[in-house]
């Protein structure tokens, strides 16, 4: 997720992209080095919060998304939560609490 801390929508920026770097080892402590940027995606959302890409770790691919968000999601989207939700039984009233709190 990308946040525009300057309060400008991404589409108003003259040049805007997100990228990722290659590392020899995870958590190697290597400092940022621009020449290690592996790839980048353009960001053109008409908002100040954007989900630029989806990383498919199993398929080992990056999917460009550029999804504009009007506000921060109220949930964390990570493997632990997704697996827990996928293997738990949901009651017929699942989500009712969320609807009443909005």
- For residue 92, give both structure tokens: 């017929």
Q: For the chain, which ranges sit under pLDDT 70?
A: 75-102
Q: How many structural domains are present in the chain?
A: 1
CA distance 62 to 84: 24
In a domain, 90, yes or no: no
pLDDT at 32: 80
Q: In this structure, is residue 15 part of a structural domain?
A: yes
Q: Residue 56: inside a domain, yes or no? A: yes
pLDDT on residue 60: 85
For residue 21, what are the β-bridge partners? 37
Whether 19 is covered by a domain: the verdict is yes
Strand order across the beta sheet in which 2-3 lies: 2-3, 49-56, 61-69
Tell whether 24 is covered by a domain. Answer: yes
Q: State how far the alpha carbon of 23 is from the alpha carbons of 28, 44, 85, in Å.
A: 7, 27, 32
Residue 16 located in a structural domain: yes
What is the helix (H) or strand (E) element at residue 99, kind and residue range?
Answer: helix 96-101
Q: Which domain holds residue 24?
A: 2-73
């Amino acid at each position: 997720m990308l946040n525009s801390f300057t309060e400008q929508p991404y589409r108003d920026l003259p040049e805007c992209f997100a990228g990722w770097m290659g590392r020899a080892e995870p958590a190697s402590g290597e400092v940022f080095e621009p020449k290690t940027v592996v790839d980048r995606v353009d960001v053109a959302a008409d908002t100040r919060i954007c989900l630029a890409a989806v990383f498919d770790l199993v398929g080992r691919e990056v999917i460009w998304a550029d999804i504009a968000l009007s506000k921060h999601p109220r949930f964390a989207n990570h493997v632990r939560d997704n697996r827990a939700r996928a293997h738990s039984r949901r009651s017929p009233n699942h989500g009712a609490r969320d609807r009443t709190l909005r």
